[in-house]
Amino acid sequence: MAVQPQRGKPTLVLLHGWGLNHAVWQQIIPFFQQNYQVLTPDLPGFGLNQQCPSPYTLSAVAAQLAPQIPSQSLVLGWSLGGLIATRLALDFPDKVKALALVASSPCFLAKAGWPGMEERVLSQFATSLSKDLALTVERFLAIQALGSETARQDIKTLKQAVLSLPLPQAEALAGGLQLLAHHDLRAELAELRMPLAGCFGRLDSLVPVSMLELFRQLCPAADITVLPKASHAPFISHQTEFVQWLQHWAEKAA
């Protein structure tokens, strides 16, 4: 069933990343509930969303989420969620009034002339998934906090979010890694017509800020912010700065 916007309130949609669920947003939702209808859907196969498309393709994931998103929403995607939010904006442009990417890239894998994750890292995670799902997710959470001054607390917060809901389905975890490894939306991102913004951590080891110069060439009108002491989860490690950025973006976009 399609979700309808609340009268008088713009809709703010927050999409989580790989291995997590909607609980990662619980600390920042209170800052926005008064002025926005805040929606935090679980990606297919994660959290409370146990329905997994097969095969687990980017278009299929976007299509499954689309009915949950009212038209003209402000859509933010973190990490893998940013890749999915971009696909949503491409396939369902009426749903996305403005798009924000947090610690996310249109192309996560390193390519010639494009900084990103090494293929061997994703391959190692894919291999270890079959051996120990929970441990693999925990290791990935640790990488997300690398570089942060509050890394230990950040990992604890992320882990609490994972454990507060059912563990992700193995099919969704494997499928999500495939999305990160194989999708390159750079050319399509450059064709988007809605406003685009991004928030990145300078210390992020998964989405290196060295990518941003090329990102700006692709999307010169994009409004890019870099938090100098943040890593891959700035809404957890630097909540105050992140909330200020998100409030500014949402007010401007709405």
What is the residue-averaged pLDDT of the chain? 94
Residues 6 or more apart whose CB falls under 8 angstroms from that of 68 comprise: 2, 3, 39, 41
Q: Tell me: the pLDDT tens digits for 99-149?
A: 999 999 999 999 999 999 998 888 888 888 878 878 888 888 888 888 889
Q: Tell me: the pLDDT tens digits for 46-88?
A: 999 999 999 999 999 999 999 999 999 999 999 999 999 999 9
CA distance 200 to 26: 20
**Model pTM score:** 0.95
Catalytic one of 22, 73, 79, 183: 79
C-alpha closest to that of 100 among 2, 192, 4, 172 = 192
Is residue 1 situated within a structural domain? no
Is residue 66 situated within a structural domain? yes
> Percent of the chain, pLDDT > 90?
81
Is residue 4 situated within a structural domain? no
Catalytic one of 42, 232, 237, 238: 232
Q: What share of the chain is helix, strand, coil (3-state, %, to 5)?
A: 45, 15, 40
Active site residue 91: no
Question: Looking at residue 4, what is its pLDDT?
Answer: 64
Range of the structural domain that residue 231 is part of: 11-253
> How many domains does the chain fold into?
1
Residue in this structure with the two tokens 């390159």, named with its chain if needed: 184
Is residue 135 situated within a structural domain? yes
Q: What count of other Cβ atoms lies within 10 Å of the Cβ of residue 186? A: 16
Q: What's the whole-number mean pLDDT along residues 205-209? A: 94
Active site residue 132: no
Is residue 133 situated within a structural domain? yes
Q: Is the pLDDT score of 6 beyond 70?
A: no
Q: What's the whole-number mean pLDDT along residues 234-249? A: 97
Q: What's the whole-number mean pLDDT along residues 213-239? A: 96
Active site residue 232: yes
Catalytic one of 104, 148, 204, 237: 204
- AA identity, residue 172: A
Is residue 201 situated within a structural domain? yes
- Which element (helix H / strand E) includes 217? helix 212-218
Is residue 230 situated within a structural domain? yes
Q: Does residue 173 contact residue 19 with C-beta atoms inside 8 Å?
A: yes
Is residue 22 situated within a structural domain? yes
Exposed/middle/buried for residue 34 (C-beta within 10 Å: 0-12, 13-18, 19+) = exposed
CATH number at residue 228: 3.40.50.1820
- AA identity, residue 5: P
Q: Is the pLDDT score of 230 beyond 60?
A: yes
What residues pair up with 101 in beta bridges, in sequence order? 77, 198
